[in-house]
Structure 1
Amino acid sequence: MGVYAISVAAELVGTGQQNIRQYERKGLLTPERTDGGTRRYSEQDLATLRRIGALLDEGLNLAGVKLVLELEAANRGLTEDNRGLADHNRELRADNKGLRKDLKEARTERDAQSGPGTH
């Protein structure tokens, strides 16, 4: 939820308001807006602004920063997907183990009822 005005966000991350506006124009972040159109920055927006600053300090241009941010977001999404798949896989393995146990018990019971040499 956006709570910080652009002046506060700029001060908190140590950059200028014009830089923040430029980052928005380049699609690096999209702050929330009030009904009157005033930008409001969230803690996540501040983290993004700090990340932009760090990448710029490393020598990337804004196009490079945008690509890195997009790749990092995609990586986070894939990591979350992978966790979900791993959890689902564990559930399936547990179900499979239970089904194998049930099948073994059913076969043992069937063999006991049919007697020796009748299967």
Structure 2
Amino acid sequence: MYSISVAAEVTGVNPQMLRIYEQKGLLEPHRTEGGTRRYSTRELERIGEIASLLAAGLNLAGVAQVLLLRAENLELRREIEHLRRKPPSST
């Protein structure tokens, strides 16, 4: 788990932008009992995804839509894979 300052340094995204990403629902860092943000390696990867989408010209609303569609796509792929592994019913 990384503090906001370390996450900012590693990703090249300033702490204020990380707070905005959280405010917009793009990130959900863990909070300590004292309320300090802690970022996992997966969240650092997500920050990289967000930065790439922003660099490609999307705004934050567009980034949110892309991330939502990616999550839905992943869920559908998992469901398809599950159905493919399921034995055929004998009806």
Q: Is the partner of 2:78 in helix, strand or coil?
A: helix
**2: CA distance between counterparts of 1:32 and 1:13?**
17
Task: Structure 2: state its 5+ residue gaps.
Answer: none
Q: Is the partner of 2:28 in helix, strand or coil?
A: coil
- Cα shift at 1:28: 0.5
Task: Structure 1: state its 5+ residue gaps.
Answer: 97-119
Matches within 5 A, 1:10-29: 10-29=8-27
TM-score (norm 1): 0.72
**2: CA distance between counterparts of 1:53 and 1:26?**
14
More helix by share: 1
Percent of residue pairs identical? 49
Tell me the residue number matched to 2:88: 92
- Cα shift at 1:92: 2.5
Q: Quick one: which of 48, 72, 75 aligns to 2:46?
A: 48
- Cα shift at 1:44: 1.1
Greater radius of gyration (CA): 1
**2: CA distance between counterparts of 1:26 and 1:45?**
15
Q: Is the partner of 1:92 in helix, strand or coil?
A: coil
Does 1 or 2 have the higher relative contact order (CA < 8 Å, sep 6+)? 2
Tell me the residue number matched to 1:78: 76
Tell me which stretches of 4 or more aligned residues in structure 1 moved more than 4 Å.
none
Q: Number of paired residues?
A: 90
Q: Is the partner of 1:67 in helix, strand or coil?
A: helix
